[in-house]
């Protein structure tokens, strides 16, 4: 996995391991002009019938997606056909939703392809059991601002628990609004509209300018994330201050 968790683990392990190879579906599988924008000054190393990208002055390597394990799980094969032997494999590939603690025979919750929990109202409230909530399901988001809005909405919904709602008019129901996709993914700016929608619905004092400010910071930082595992992550040191307009 080559997102935040996978690359953080890889960098920590690199201080004690001989080599660390990070598998990433976005890794270029051949040398080309289109790969230059991602690879920059990375070093190319021939290995196992293919190439991998070596992060300069490190023992970190960038590889295509892992597709199989052979020879008692000691040989790793990659999407480009190359292979290598490995002493240990760490899966940092995300997670699927699972609620096995609910009795299956009661069918309280259904999980579609591990990515969509249903039946929920606004990605939060169970349609049959309105006092049952699932906070934090959306992914591809800035988590804590979203959690705050969701928690405020839940408090509002609990005060309206005896009032019926029209779940046929839910603009955030993936089964009603097809372009949402059957998941809780809210990247590409969808999270901000969702947060503002919940805030407005529950009367939360959070105007559009505040949401936009959070979105601008999130997008600014996202644009400065490393292009490949092991690249400098100076974006973590970015610091922001709120300056009153009277001081500008």
Is omega for the bond preceding 84 within 30 degrees of 0, making it cis? no
pLDDT, one tens digit per residue, over 182-221 is 789 888 788 998 988 898 888 888 777 877 888 899 899 8
Return the structure tokens found at 186.
Answer: 């809210």
User: Does the pLDDT at position 34 exceed 50?
Assistant: no
**b/e 41-55 (16+ beta carbons within 10 angstroms → b):** ebeeeebbebbbbbb
173 to 110, 127, 197, 224: CA distances (angstroms): 14, 11, 13, 32
Return the structure tokens found at 231.
Answer: 């690249």
Residue 146's pLDDT is what? Answer: 93
- Mean pLDDT for the stretch of residues 32-47: 61
**pTM, two decimal places:** 0.77
Least confident of 7-11, 58-62, 205-209: 205-209
pLDDT, one tens digit per residue, over 112-170 is 888 889 889 899 999 888 899 999 999 989 899 899 999 999 999 998 877 666 656 67
Can you tell me whether residue 45 is helix, strand or coil? strand
Q: Which one is predicted more confidently, 94 or 141?
A: 141
């Amino acid at each position: 996995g080559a997102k935040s968790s996978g690359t953080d683990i890889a960098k920590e392990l690199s201080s004690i391991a001989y080599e660390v190879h990070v598998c990433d579906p976005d890794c270029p599988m051949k040398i080309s002009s289109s790969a230059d924008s991602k690879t920059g000054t990375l070093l190319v190393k021939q290995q196992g019938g293919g190439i991998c990208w070596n992060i300069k002055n490190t023992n970190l390597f960038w590889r295509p997606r892992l597709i199989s394990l052979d020879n008692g799980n000691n040989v790793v094969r990659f999407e480009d056909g190359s292979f290598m032997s490995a002493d240990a494999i760490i899966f940092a590939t995300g997670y699927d939703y699972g609620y096995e603690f609910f009795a299956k025979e009661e069918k309280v919750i259904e999980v579609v392809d591990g990515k969509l929990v249903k039946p929920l109202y606004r990605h939060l409230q169970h349609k049959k059991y309105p006092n049952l909530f699932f906070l934090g399901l959306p992914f591809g988001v800035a988590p804590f601002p979203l959690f705050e809005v969701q928690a405020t909405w839940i408090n509002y919904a609990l005060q309206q628990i005896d009032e019926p709602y029209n779940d046929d008019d839910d603009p955030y129901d993936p089964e009603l609004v097809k372009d949402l996709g059957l998941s809780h993914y809210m990247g590409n700016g969808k999270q901000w509209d969702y947060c503002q929608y919940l805030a407005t619905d529950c009367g939360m004092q959070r105007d559009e300018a505040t949401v936009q400010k959070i979105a601008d910071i999130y997008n600014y930082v996202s644009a400065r994330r490393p292009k490949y595992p092991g690249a400098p992550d100076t974006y973590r040191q970015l610091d922001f201050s709120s300056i009153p307009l009277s001081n500008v």
